Structure formats: C-alpha cells, structure tokens
Amino acid sequence: MTLDADVAAQTARRRTFAVISHPDAGKSTLTEALALHAHAIAEAGAVHGKGSRRGVVSDWLDMEQARGISITSAALQFTVDDVVLNLLDTPGHADFSEDTYRVLAAVDCAVMLLDAAKGLEPQTLKLFEACRVRGTPVITVINKWDRPGQEPLALLDEIEERLGIVPTPVNWPVGIAGDFRGVIDPTTGGMTQFTRTPGGATLAGRESIDADEAARRHGPDWTQAVEEFELLTSSGQSHDQDTFLAARTTPVLFAAAVLNFGVAELLDAVTTMAPPPGPWTDVEGRPRPVDGPFSGFVFKVQTGMDRAHRDRLAFMRVCSGRFERGSVLTHAASGRPFQTKYAQSVFGRERETIDEAYPGDVVGLVNAQSLNVGDTLYAEDKVTFPPLPRFAPEHFAVVRPRDTGRSKQFRRGIQMLDQEGVVQVLVSDRRGAQSPVLAAVGPMQFEVATHRLEHEFNAQSVLEPLGYAEARRTTRAAVPTIDAKHGAEVLERTDGTLVALFSDRWRMGTIAADLPEGSLLPLFGTEDGVAP
C-alpha cells in the first residue's frame, strides 16, 4: 500500500468529536461512560470521587476534582470496532468558553448533551451556535432520563423551535423520565432493556427483547413509546445522513450516563454517523487534502500536567498526512524547524509515547516552548491555517506577586497562563511588568489563574479588580488621547494588539467623539478571528 493510500485508509477509521453542554448536564460523566464502554478504562469514576471510587479521567486539575466542574479541555483516544475515536472533553462553564471554542475548531462532530429536566440552557445555545457557524454536525443526547424531567416530545419541539434544526430520534425511551426502562431499537423493532449496576461504576446490563416480550414486560409504557416514535417517523423525522452532515438535522438519543444507560447506543451512533476527517482550509481558502503532505494545528497548550517536571504540552490536531515521531517539521509562524522527538498520545492526564498519527488524531508535543495556540506545523508544502478567535474580555484585574522575592516565578507563571489562553495578559509602561492586567471572559478564570500561580509556580499573588466594563481594539495614534482621559487607559496584549479599556459604554462614547473615525474597533474583529 502506498503512503497516500495508507493515510486515506487510516483517516477513514478516525472520528474526532467533542462533548459540549451547559454546566451540570453530565458531560464529564458521559465522557467517562464512553471510555468505559469502549473498554478504555475498567471502571467509571465519579465527578466527586468518594471512598474507593476514583475521579473521572478527564477532570485532572485539582480545582476540577475539588469543585466537580470541568475547567480545562481534555483529550481521550480509544478504539471501538476498528474505529479510532478521538474524544475531546470541554469545559461547560461559560467563563471558559474560549477553551471550548478552541476545541470545537479541532473536531469534525459534536455531541450536544441536554439535561432532561432543563432542556436547552444558555451555554448550550451558545455552543450550538458555534457549531452552526463552523458547519459542524451535532448529535444530541438527552441525558439524566433516570430522573424526573420533561416529556420527550416537548424536548424535541424545543430543539426544533429554538435551534432551527430538525431532531431525528434514532431511539426512543421506554418509561417516563425518572423511570428509564430502556429504548426502542428501530433496527429490530424491539427493545434494548437496561439493568442497573451498583453505583454505575461498571457496564449496565443490556438485554435485547422483541416487541411482544417488551409489550408483556412493560405494557402501557411500551405502547406509549411505540406510538410516539411512530408519530415522529411518519412525519419524516427519521435520520438522514446527508442532512445530518449538512448540519440541518440532529440525531437524538436518550441516556442516563451516571447509570451507563444508553451509552453503548451513543458509541454506535458516533462510529457510524460522525464523519471522518476531511480537508482543512488554509488562510488562502485552499483545502489541504488529508492524504497530502503532513500538516497540524495547535489548538491548546497546557502546563502542569506532569507535576514532576512541569513540562509544557502543545495539543496538535493532525490535519493531513502521517505524523512520524522524530520528524522535523516547519513552524509556519517563524519558518524555523521544529523537532518532534518527544511526542505523546494523551488520555486525560496519562500519556505515552506515540510513534505515528493520522488526520483527526491529537498529538501531545512535549516541551514545545516555541508553540502557541493557533500555530501551524507542516512538512514539505507550506501551509498556514486560520488563527483561532480571541474573545473580547469583560473582566479586568491587576495581578501582583504577594512576595517580591518570587518575582521570577510569578513572571514565568503569567507567561505560561497567557500562552495557554487561561487569561489574556495586558501590559503598559505606566503599570510596569510586575503589575500586568489580567483580562477574562468570566471571573472564574481569575480563580484558576491565581490558584495555578500558587500551586504550580509557587508564586502567591494579589488581585485588584479594575473598574472597566468595555474593551476595544485601538490604534497607536489614538493612545495619547485615550490615556489622557479619566476612566480609560490603553494596554498592549502580548500579541501586539492595543486594547483600550473604558469604565462604561457612555464614557467610551464621549472619548470616541474626540478620536478619528476607526480608532475603536471590536476586539473580536477580523484581526482576531470571528468569535460566534
């Protein structure tokens, strides 16, 4: 087999997807259950691990384990029926939206998780809109069907009305929310019945029974489920692969991730419906074929994963060609060579050396000090992929080292957090290098930053919130005018962008009247990428 044919065959086996949801919809629990059903782990952990029950593999930061929320994205890879699944878990909290959007730029499909009781929530709507902008197909999972919730037909109506996408159920729950018996299996016309296991730590029991046996065991619940499902299929709400890939329809499944109910069905849906990796489009609008020369895109940088060495890991999505450990690639931003001697596959916090990877795979490049989020690496034919968006921050605070004797560690920590995208770092001559301004989408980012400064870099810090509410990109010519005004100042982001901060929208308007037209521009404009 030629190299191109091998790459094409390996790419066809890949499915790279993200799990997205509003906080507390069960995303990390579902991620853990998927790994369990794929036999990648022997026992499912709990978001709040108690006693002998371990925590989930995707939530590895101390703060994640303590609070039971996902703060940073995580990568997991496992194989199901010869299909290689690259699963990227994402933060659900709105304060970490920027990390989630970076992950969505690196996947080919998304699994959108809804709480059966709450339906569509604000963060779910934002994340779905991000998928719509990118044309990313979405599989919907209605989770927590083991708890009281809404009627299934009402949930489907909400999806169609609020998202403007047609839900096409690929199974249907038997039993109301809170009394989950199993699901209708459309392929057989029968039922898959679930049986609980202690604590949901191991695979749930699954039994396939025909329609007559389902009617005997479940009586009116089975009859109602069949009637509802037939109503939907007769109205044309059946799965169609073409409309799904075009992001006009969304397959819908029902599950109770904490009990491992319906998880095997979701794995089957991902392996059979999610698309394999396709060509990536470069900054010139040209597609890079998957079987072309190697190219990769850095969508995440993370430090602190290896506490013993404090190394820096760049997460690179392979876009085309075959990656080979030890190969020398070119860093598109600088034109310099990049050695790939230390390349690893990542499973939560656990890592092992990887020798080769194909389009769709995520490779961890160790001690990649020269790489930043949004960078392109390539071999042979030069290519640069579009940068990732930088979001307009809404919260600002000055940060200083509590102990000036730890200034070196403090500066190193601030640099790492900025490069990872945990926060944006703004500086000015007026404030000095020891008093940078942290800019964030949400205040919890400040908590993560100060926690990591203390625990990873041994540099306790002091935060002083600033009274700014508006941020705009500005020009160098406008700096003296803005800096001379009360309630405003200009700082420089580490990528060279000049950021003007204002106390409120009214103050910004009065100052803008003294500036030439075009002096204030949105921070998420074309120079930063378009944020949905």
Annotated binding site for GTP: 89-93
What is the Cα–Cα distance from 312 to 422, expressed in whole angstroms?
Answer: 14
What is the Cα–Cα distance from 354 to 352, expressed in whole angstroms?
Answer: 6
Which residue is associated with the tokens 């949901």?
200
3-state secondary structure of 77: strand
Parallel, antiparallel or unpaired: strands 488-493 and 424-427 = antiparallel
What is the Cα–Cα distance from 245 to 251, expressed in whole angstroms?
Answer: 11
Asked if 172 contacts 190 with a C-beta cutoff of 8 angstroms, the reply is: no
Q: How many Cβ atoms sit within 10 Å of the Cβ of residue 139? A: 22
Parallel, antiparallel or unpaired: strands 249-254 and 166-169 = parallel
Closest Cα to residue 126, out of 92, 166, 169? Answer: 92
What is the Cα–Cα distance from 49 to 58, expressed in whole angstroms?
Answer: 13
What is the Cα–Cα distance from 212 to 216, expressed in whole angstroms?
Answer: 6
Structure tokens at 492: 């420089």
Asked if 460 contacts 413 with a C-beta cutoff of 8 angstroms, the reply is: no
Structure tokens at 82: 């010869």
For the sheet containing 172-174, what is the strand order? 172-174, 182-185, 190-195, 205-209
DSSP 307-351: TTT--EEEEEEEEES-EETT-EEEETTT--EEE-SSEEEEETTEE
3-state secondary structure of 167: strand
- Phi-psi bin for 200: left (phi > 0), alpha (psi -120 to 50), beta? left
What is the Cα–Cα distance from 491 to 501, expressed in whole angstroms?
Answer: 8
Torsion sign over Cα 197, 200, 205, 211 = positive
What is the Cα–Cα distance from 304 to 438, expressed in whole angstroms?
Answer: 20
Q: If residue 521 lies in a helix (H) or strand (E), which one and from where to where?
A: strand 520-521
Residue positions forming the annotated binding site: 89-93
Residues 6+ apart with CB under 8 A from 510: none
Structure tokens at 478: 């406008």
Helix axes 97-104, 122-134, angle to 10 degrees: 30
Torsion sign over Cα 484, 487, 493, 499 = negative
Asked if 365 contacts 326 with a C-beta cutoff of 8 angstroms, the reply is: no
- Phi-psi bin for 530: left (phi > 0), alpha (psi -120 to 50), beta? beta
Structure tokens at 377: 């690496």
Asked if 41 contacts 57 with a C-beta cutoff of 8 angstroms, the reply is: yes
